[in-house]
Structure formats: C-alpha cells, structure tokens
Chains A and B, each alone.
Chain A
Amino acid sequence: MKGLRKYIEKIKPRFEKGGKYENWHSVFESFETFLFVSGETAPKKGAHIRDAIDSKRLMSVVVIALIPAMLFGMWNSGYQHFLSLGQNVAFFQEFWHGFIKVLPIILVSYIAGLGTEFVFVYIKKKEIEEGFLVSGLLIPLIVPVDIPLWMVAVATILAVIFGKEVFGGTGMNIVNPALLTRAILFFAYPSKMSGDKIWISGLEKGTGIVDGFSGATPLAQAASTTHEQLTQHGFQFFDGFKENAINFYDMFMGWIPGSIGETSTLMILIGAAILLYTGVASWKIMLSGLVGAAVMGIMLNTFATPTNPYMALPFYYHYVMGGFAFGLVFMATDPVSAAQTERGKWIYGFLIGVMAILIRVLNPAYPEGMMLAILLMNVFAPLIDYYVIRGNVSKRLKRVKVK
C-alpha cells in the first residue's frame, strides 16, 4: 500500500499544470481518489462539514452489497445450463460455467461505460465521477446470461450518453443509468431480452437440450396460467421440467431462470442488510415499495376475473418472482434518481410497488413491470419532492402570525 502511495506521489507532478500529461489530469485524479481517500478536508472558505466517506467509498459499499447476488447469479447460470442438458455436475463446475459466461458481460459493461465517461471527462476537462462504479456491476446482473456482448456495449454507451452525460454527469441524471441500459436493450433488441428461450445459457442454440425442457420463468408461468388450471390446481410453478414443481421457497432461494443477479431473493436480502446497516440505501423506499406491491396485489386478488387468472396470484409471490426484490433494493433506492425528501420517499416507493404489480398483471406485453415502474417513478421523483416541499412551506406559513 505504501509503495503504491509513494508511486502516485512520484508521478503526480507529471499530471499537474505544466506537466507532460497535463491533459490527463482529470483521469489521473480520478484514479488517485479511487485508490486513496482524498487528503482534503474542509475548504478554506465557508463552513462546509465534510464526512470522511466520499461518494467513491459510498459506491464501494453498494458494490460489496451486490457481490452475494453476483456470485449466486454465476452459480445459478451454470446450474440452469446443466439442468437443461440433463447433466448432474459438481458445484464447482456449475459455478465455473456461469463465471465464464458472466465475467465478459461485467468487463464489457465496465469498459464501455467507463470509456464513455473518460471521453466526456477528457472533452469537458472536469474530474471524473464515480457513478459508473455501481452501474457497471448493476448492468450485468439485470440482463439475461446469453445476451450478445456487443448489445451490452451499445446499450451501455447510449445510456451513459443520453441518460447521464447530457444532463451533466453523475448526480444530475434523471433516471437510473443501469436501468436505462436495460430499457434500451429491451426496446432495441426484444428478441434477446424476453421470451422463454433466452434466460438459460445455451438454450436458444438448442444443442443437447433434454426433451421437454422449457426455460419459462415463474413470471411467464404465472402469466400463462389458464382459468381451468387455476380452478383445478391453483397456481403451479415448475423448473425446466413439467414434473418438477417448485414452490415459494425455491423462488426465494433463487434456483430459477431469470436475469443473472435477480433470481435469489435471499442474496438480495443480504445485500439489503449491508445497505441498510451502512445507511447507504433508504429503508423507507424499500418498505413502502413492499407495502405498495401488497396493496396492489390484494386489490387485484379481490377483483380477480376468470379472463385474467394472473390477478388471483397471492401478493407475496410477486416479491420473489422476477426482478422485484433486486429492483427495489438496488435500483429504486439509487440516491440520485429517487425522491430526496423523507415524505417523498414514502410516496415514491409506494408508487413503485403499485406500478410494478399493475404492469406485471394487467399488461400482457410486459411480463416484468419493475423496470418500467422504477423508470416512471424516477421521472416523477422531482415532482413529488416539489409538492412535498411546497406542502411543508404552506404548513409553516400558517404558523406565521401576521401582525
């Protein structure tokens, strides 16, 4: 560590004004502050209180919280792959298969995103911001494992430019950049982002797949349940094979097909615990999101009709299916794009829960509503904040006595 610090001190003058690599100053500085907490404390003028934790450290906590979901996702990719082949292999082999599949996606996402940011930093001559540290790991976890890498690169670059840089960089974005990447992928290349064939690696190619294996996610299964099935057996879920029924516990543990990092609610809960313990994410958003989904779920249950049996699905199933938990813990709580006021956070989270279930159940075109729900509420967050603040202002104005 000391050696690294010494080396940085040694090469620093070359990047300062008048040095050989003056133009690369911003890039150099961003690496320096990534490796070491900046020595500056309070500025000379003004009374600004500064925490020792800067946003690079804050982002690192989120990355750490994502690691359980990422590791589980790697194993699950392999597990699902060998399940589809009908082979029984060792744990390590399953993990290795997933690791080889997922690692390139992570690398491509980081290289494309950071590359775009570096280009903008270089043009604008400002300090590089750390926002992409988290987005770069979020993107691989919310895409299917077989997604072509060039698509990830294209969508990441577009999302960083149009979701973040045109608004002024990290901290200025209206919508969550990682989720925007997924939305771009979803609308640009729907054949690689939805359907039954794409969630398990190798299934689309179809070589060596066991007969009768289906890659349908629990979300798709719930959506395609017919009224007859519902009245005879209730909701039934199965893994790749029709005879292997899975239940709530299996979905909670996460050995089901889905986007890489979003299947295991347990691993996401570990991440949530880290985020809540360190105070990085807002528990209000998470809690109100759960309440919102429950309210909407129960409401749909009450009005369930034979024409849309999906409406009868008990609300707690929504928590463990698809990307609901992942979105609520890691995406909705993004401090930049979420509501900033405390009361606003309750409204924001609640509406995300409501919208997600509403889109899932009532819109057959989008099996997963979480992405669209969060993006929609990202756009509305400033409006919510505005009215919360206006409400507070008018409340306090009433206390003012006019003499």
Chain B
Amino acid sequence: MGKNMKLVTNPLNLNNPILVQILGICSALAVTVKLEPAIVMAVSVTLVVAFANVIISLLRNTIPSRIRIIVQLVVIAALVIVVDQILKAYSYTVSKQLSVFVGLIITNCILMGRLEAFALGNKPWQSFLDGVGNGGGYSLILIIVAFVRELLGSGTLTLPSVGEIQIIPQSFYDAGYQNNGLVILPPAALIIVGVIIWVQRSYTRELIDEKE
C-alpha cells in the first residue's frame, strides 16, 4: 500500500510534472489569468489523465506497439470530447473562457508522457493512482499560479459556483493602489512558475543539482 500511496504523493512534489519534468507549461500560461478556469482546467486534466491511464492500462497487452501512439491519441481525444461536452452543458461560461484550451488537453505533454511512461507497463489500479497523482501535481501548480495572477492582476478571486469575490478592498484603490498589468501577461506565469521552482529547490535537497 505504501508503494501505491507514493504513486499519488510523488508527483505532488518530488516528481511534479510542471516543476520537475517541465511538462504542461503551455496551458499553465494560458488558463491561469483567473482562478475559476484554472480550477476547471485542473479538474478536467486530472480526470482525463486518470481515465486515459486506466483505459490504456487495460488495453496494454493488446495494443500493437507500432500504432500505440495513435491508440493513445484516440483514447485521449474521446475523453476530451466527453469533458468538453460536459463543460458546455453544465458551465457554459467557463467553457467559453477556456475556449480552445479544453481541446488542447489532447496535446498536453503530461498525458502522452504518463501513458507512454506508466500506463503501458502497469496495472490499471496503479495507473489510475499515477494519473490522479500527476493530475494533482499539475492542478496544484495551476491553482497557485492562477491565485497569484488573479489576486495581483485583478484584485479578485473567482471560484466556481461562487463567482467573483473582491479581495483587495476599494479603499486600497482609492488610496492609489493599482492592479499590476504585468501579471496578466503570459510571461508573468513563467516568472511565477520560476519562483515556485526556486522555492521548491531551496527546500528539497533531493532536487538540488550536484556541484561540478
């Protein structure tokens, strides 16, 4: 059981897909301007990667290795379409905000990476846990980045089914405070991810490169 637990906890920190493997950066830049789309995106990716892992793991002995990439893509694409339709049906505004990025989950490097590296060689239950762990690691970073960007860039936090909450009080604005426009721009997401990597490496000995 301890080993299975590690499948979930490892990707949260030591083997985080964004911070350590540097995968899935593109969507971390694109959907983190507001917190709500980031949360929805995080949940969608976690669901897709977990279930794609299970399906590929079930099929792993029957997929001919020559066409495995195509099979993986078909599975991911099918799941993404399901997620996209659910979003359109139940939270149309978020689906509009995410626009093309839901479809682009198909090209998210984390998905192909986990399918190739893990699901093809492991049992369904382990693959599911691995998918949940990696989706969780991705979600964690996405939500942190979106939190910082929305707070500093718009002064608000948008939560699903709650809506926009004004965090920075009006009196601050009256006193001359202004939202930071730089944080809204995509490069700021890279800087924030960089800062998170900086903090993580200064606290985690295992990740520090040995001095030459």
A residues neighboring B (CB under 8 Å): 148, 150-151, 154, 162, 166, 184, 187-192
CB neighbours of B166 from chain A (8 A): none
Bitwise interface map of B from 182 to 212 toward A, beta carbon under 8 Å scored 1, else 0:
1101000001000000100000000000000
Q: Would you list the 6 A-B pairs with minimal beta carbon distance, nearest first?
A: A188-B182, A187-B182, A188-B180, A188-B181, A189-B178, A148-B176
Is A188 a contact of B183 with CB atoms below 8 Å?
A: yes
Give the complex CA separation of A166 and B183 in angstroms.
Answer: 19
B147-202 contacts to A, CB under 8 A, are: 176-178, 180-183, 185, 191, 198
Bound complex: CA of A265 vs CA of B181, how far in Å?
Answer: 32
Contact A150 B180 (CB under 8 A): no
**A154 nearest CB neighbor, chain B only:** B180
A192 and B177 CA atoms in complex are apart in Å by: 12
**Is A184 touching B182 in the complex (CB atoms < 8 A)?**
yes
Does A192 contact B182, Cβ atoms closer than 8 Å? no
- Interface magnitude class on chain B: 10 to 19
* Residue of B177, B182, B185, B198 most packed against chain A (CB within 10 A): B182
Seen from chain B, the residues whose Cβ lies within 8 Å of a Cβ on chain A are 176-178, 180-183, 185, 191, 198
Contact partner of A189 (CB less than 8 A), chosen from B180, B185, B191, B198, is B180
B181, B183, B191: the one within 8 Å of A190 (CB): B181
Given contacts A148-B176, A150-B176, contact A162 B181 (CB under 8 A): no
User: In whole angstroms, what is the CA distance A356 to B161 when docked?
Assistant: 48
Considering the chains assembled together, what is the distance between the CA atoms of A190 and B177 in angstroms?
Answer: 13
State the main secondary structure of chain A at its contact with B: helix
Which residues of chain A have C-beta atoms less than 8 A from B178's C-beta?
A: 148, 151, 189, 191-192
Which residues of chain A are within 8 angstroms of B181 by Cβ–Cβ distance? Answer: 187-190
| B182 cross-chain contacts in A, Cβ below 8 A | 184, 187-188
Inter-chain contacts of A188 with B (CB < 8 A): 180-183
Of all chain A residues, the one with the shortest Cβ separation from B181 is A188
Residues in B with CB closer than 8 Å to A192 are: 178
Cα distance, A127 to B152, chains bound together (Å) = 34
Q: List 21 A-B residue pairs with CB atoms under 8 Å apart, sorted by A's residue number.
A: A148-B176, A148-B178, A150-B176, A150-B177, A151-B178, A154-B180, A162-B191, A166-B198, A184-B182, A187-B181, A187-B182, A187-B185, A188-B180, A188-B181, A188-B182, A188-B183, A189-B180, A189-B181, A190-B181, A191-B178, A192-B178
Residues of B within 8 A of A154 (CB): 180
List of A residues within 8 angstroms of B177 by Cβ: 150
Of listed A151, A154, A162, A187, residue having the most chain B CB within 10 A: A187
Give the docked Cα–Cα distance between A166 and B197 (Å). 12
- Interchain CA distance A210-B178 in the complex, whole Å: 28
Query: Which residues of B lie under 8 Å from residue A189 when comparing CB positions?
Result: 178, 180-181
Distance in angstroms between the alpha carbons of A189 and B181 in the assembled complex: 6
Q: Which chain B residue shows the least CB distance to A149?
A: B176
